[in-house]
Amino acid sequence: MTTFSKTLLVAALTIGGVFSWTSAVAQPKAEVAEQQLFQAINRERAANGLPPLKWDEALANAARQHAETMAAQKSISHGFPGELSLPSRATRAGALFSWLSENVAAGPNTENINEQWMQSPNHRANLLDADMDTIGAGAAERNGVVFAVADFSKAKH
């Protein structure tokens, strides 16, 4: 191997390591936001005399993918052209459910997003639906904006 080839290899490994490190740093921030949403939703349910929702990793994966799509589109929506529907996204992720609902929002932080959901009659109804027993939350950040998705389900056991 020539000296030039070795230099290119070292540079490629170094750059790859930087990108891997950047991805690893970004991921925990989204995971923290997801857990903050989960905890805030369960606090709201407790304040309204409802049992807590259980975390479902399959729903979280579906929600996370949709949050990333919203961040890439720089828009909030329950679906974008060419994207699977909520039931199809949840099924593809491996969730087992008899009923689903979804909240989407974007804001500067999770506290703001939770406030938005509680002030919206439809989102509040999803969050406080006594028939739902599981949740998966997803978050993605783009330019200081948090894009959030909460997928609620009545799980099939």
b/e map 132-156, b = 16+ CB within 10 Å: bbbbbbbbbbeeebbbbbbbbbebe
Of 12-21, 35-44, 99-108, 115-124, give the lowest mean pLDDT range.
12-21
What integer pLDDT is reported at residue 24 of this predicted model? 33
Could you identify the residue written with the tokens 């949403």? 37
What integer pLDDT is reported at residue 29 of this predicted model? 79
Of 3-17, 40-54, 129-143, give the lowest mean pLDDT range.
3-17
In tens, the pLDDT along 100-136 reads: 999 999 999 999 999 999 999 999 999 999 999 999 9
What integer pLDDT is reported at residue 156 of this predicted model? 86
What is the pTM for the complete model shown?
Answer: 0.81
